[in-house]
Amino acid sequence: MTAQLEAVVRDAVEHVFPLPHIPEAVSVVRRRARTVLADWKLAPDLAEDALVVISEMITNAVVHALPPAVLRLSLVADGSNAVRVEVTDAGPAAADGPSVVVPCAGEHGRGLGIITALAAECGTRVHAGGTTRWADLLAA
């Protein structure tokens, strides 16, 4: 992310959503996020792309990471209607630990590719509190 956009993100309007560590979290949090994005009056294409990225990131956190997890949405306050989506979790789940059963496994595994395709920039930060995955989406 450019230094200019990073500075603006710090001055963004933010909403934080705790993520229950259950498969139903995706639909519940997605509905709440849809309301926030509508309140921000985003272009319809940007709002839909943001919802897809939100869904993919939440799914990854619930299926592949340890709780707790949190979704943070930020609206860049420079009039560009850029949106940052961040999901922070406690880090990867142990391979031998309990996991969420993923139905129709053949339909999964494309989330990171979808996020990369929709985001202007995206990445991962590993820190003492866990892992944060982020994506910046820009209005067309």
Residue range 67-94, pLDDT digits in tens: 999 999 999 867 677 899 999 999 988 7
Dihedral of alpha carbons 13, 52, 48, 135, sign:
positive
Choice among 10-14, 64-68, 75-79 with the minimum mean pLDDT: 10-14
Residue 109 clears pLDDT 90, i.e. is over it = no
Please say whether the beta carbons of 89 and 61 come within 8 A: yes
Residue 112: predicted pLDDT: 81
DSSP characters over 71-103: EEEEE-TTTT--EEEEEEES-BPPTTS-----S
pTM listed for this prediction: 0.80
- Domains and their CATH numbers in the chain: 3-137 (3.30.565.10)
Between CA 29 and CA 75, with CA 21 as vertex, the angle to 5 degrees is 35
- Secondary structure of 5-18 in the HEC alphabet? HHHHHHCCEEEEEE
Rg of the chain over all Cα atoms, to the nearest angstrom: 15
Please say whether the beta carbons of 43 and 139 come within 8 A: yes
Give the residue, 97 or 112, on which the prediction is more confident. 112
